[in-house]
A and B are shown apart, each in its own frame.
Chain A
Amino acid sequence: MSLAVESQTSKQLKRAGLTALTFLLMVVMCVPGLWVVLSAFRPNGEILAKPPIWIPEAPTFDNFRKIFGLGTDQVAIPVGSYFMNSLIIAMTSTVIALAIGMAGGYAFARYRFRGKGSIFLGLMLFRAVPGIALSLPVFIIWSKLGIIDTKIGLIIVYVSLNVPFTIWLIDGFFRQIPLSLSEAAQVDGCTRWQAFWKIEFPLARSGIAAAGVFAFLTSWNEFALASQLTRSTSSKTLPVGLLDFTAQFTIDWAGMCAMAVIIIIPALILTFLVQKHLIAGLTFGGVKG
């Protein structure tokens, strides 16, 4: 009797412990980002206040207005241009990487050919070259080619940065689709090309979208290469631009937080949309060989 009671309470204790741990985990995960987001809506004075003001007392959009140059009191940093540059560079490189990655991923998923394993490994190993190490020769070559400090120069780099991983993910998604579906379609009268677009592509669509989001965010977030290959307002991206703030003598914390929010938001939304497929793609492509 008492034993049963004891195990009952120990069970409850355990559950309470688990809940507490989970809660702690979530706090650690969320608070840093949340604090930055909250600060983006505070006037600078409130950020510098001592003792700290936890909940914003006078929430304001001024910081955003300021960095986009809309208010009277402007920041000298062209965040609007950076935003557009980031968007153009990330989108273009994603579209191209997806096209290339789809062809490559399909080749790996559907064909046997000589050197398959080595080519796949080779792609991964080249992806492993640290950005800053790669930036040195690319910097010199791009200068000679005249595409240094241009959007196109960065797009080319990002395409190749994204191709290996896009292939890894898309290979996994195509492999999940039984080969016999494509064969059935070919028996039903399709060419291989038609079978791909009518059967395999629609079935892999959400996975391909996830790969696209991953590529987009990789480009959107990249810093090491962008910081060396772009210099001017016409090509600098948001992560590089963020550093403009620290270059000044007094750090404009409020402005930086507002800019951080602008970088975070697409990441949050896109991650949320595709997280399920992304996890499936990462594990499937890896485990099922």
Chain B
Amino acid sequence: MAEITLDKVVKKYGAASVVHGIDLEIAHEEFVVLVGPSGCGKSTTLRMIAGLEDISGGIVRIGDRVVNDLPPRKRNISMVFQNYALYPHMNVRENLGFGLKIAGESPDNISKRVDEAAAVLGLTPLLDRTPAELSGGQRQRVAMGRAIVRRPEVFLFDEPLSNLDAKLRGQMRAEIKKLHQKVRTTVVYVTHDQVEAMTLADRIVVMRDGRIEQVGTPMEAFNHPRTTFVATFIGSPPMNLLPGVIAGGAVRLADGTTVPVPDRLKPHARDGRKVTLGIRPDDISPVGHGLSQDGPGAEVDLTVELAEPLGMESLIYTRLAGQEVLAKLYGPRIVQPGEQLTFRMALDRAHLFDAETGQSLRLD
């Protein structure tokens, strides 16, 4: 059993603290993705789990062992690095077998397990090449092979796909997912790409400035962001955020436009409270071109500033209450800049956040 527990884990470089007391429980065989903007402390957290970075405070457990003072080799983990870290002076076979050799496995056993792992990843024809003779995708596969061949309890990935081009990244994403279904181990995966996080994770952990912002399934994070940060970070294009004040059961925006507060949020909408209204572009559409026509809504007349046709849908840049707002038009209709359209905001998925703390009102 390899669950991972982080208990108030802190990382300091000298006086500067970069991870401020993280609590996280990762279940056995769970696929957890740490996601957040660059520099938020994801790698640092992962490397503390790996034992590559000293832990300045708190406790890290793998299984039932406290691993704070164990070196990486005693943690029964394997890791895939961003730049793959393949050993340049060894061929693929030796790269894959290195860990087993260090562990003192017999040559027969090593070659058997290397062949198995190579077969799983389609590396068999490449076994005698050196890393320099491989393409980016192949190197990536070798790095994964090196991780699985040792059958560790935990896989750690640090941005493993960020050096690949977009197409290959999609492919490898699917392979990682399949791999996890085949060899069920606990996985901690770091990325700054929210699409990767959404597609791979059982649960995602959104991080910001060395703190955890939200933990939950991808759909929870998407549907119920706890903060404006999560709301804009998860989902693409990002959620529109409009500042306003609650007045008479509606949000009054800067220019006086009012948007009714949906019933489920009414209990939190005290009059006079300063809030931020959050609506995803998918929920603002020209009338008749939206996803849903019923449910609570509000209509506004807006001018199109720019439209990006994407085929079956178009992304529309417009302006509401002095702020740029993104909207989506579903259907093969061409929109011209300057065109005046009536947009419908579908409010059953709208969010309200406290203007000061950025916390969702739902959490009051």
Give residues in A with beta carbon < 8 Å to B.
Answer: 178, 180-181, 183-192, 194, 198-199, 202-203
A189 x B81 contact (CB < 8 A) = no
Chain A nearest CB, measured from B60 CB (Å):
15
Give residues in B with beta carbon < 8 Å to A.
Answer: 50-52, 71-73, 77-79, 81-83, 85, 87-89, 98-99, 102-103, 146, 150, 156
Partner of A191, one of B73, B81, B156: B73
Q: Check A180/B102 contact, CB under 8 A, given A187-B73, A190-B73, A203-B88.
A: no
A184 x B85 contact (CB < 8 A) = yes
C-alpha gap A203/B90 in the complex (Å): 10
Q: Check A183/B87 contact, CB under 8 A, given A188-B150, A189-B102.
A: no
Chain A nearest CB, measured from B256 CB (Å):
56
Q: Check A188/B98 contact, CB under 8 A, given A183-B81, A203-B89.
A: yes
A186 x B52 contact (CB < 8 A) = yes
Partner of A202, one of B51, B89, B103: B89
Q: List 9 A-B contacts (CB under 8 A).
A: A180-B82, A181-B85, A184-B87, A186-B73, A187-B50, A187-B51, A187-B73, A187-B77, A203-B89
Chain B nearest CB, measured from A227 CB (Å):
44
B73 x A189 contact (CB < 8 A) = yes
C-alpha gap A233/B228 in the complex (Å): 84
Given contacts A186-B72, A187-B52, A189-B103, 4 further A-B contacts (CB under 8 A): A183-B50, A185-B98, A189-B102, A199-B87
B50, B77, B82, B85 — most chain A CB neighbours (10 Å) = B85
C-alpha gap A203/B89 in the complex (Å): 7
C-alpha gap A45/B98 in the complex (Å): 67
Chain A residues with CB under 8 Å of B87's CB are 181, 184-185, 199
Chain B nearest CB, measured from A195 CB (Å):
9
A180 x B103 contact (CB < 8 A) = no
C-alpha gap A186/B72 in the complex (Å): 6
Chain B residues with CB under 8 Å of A185's CB are 87, 98, 102
Chain B residues with CB under 8 Å of A187's CB are 50-52, 72-73, 77-79, 156
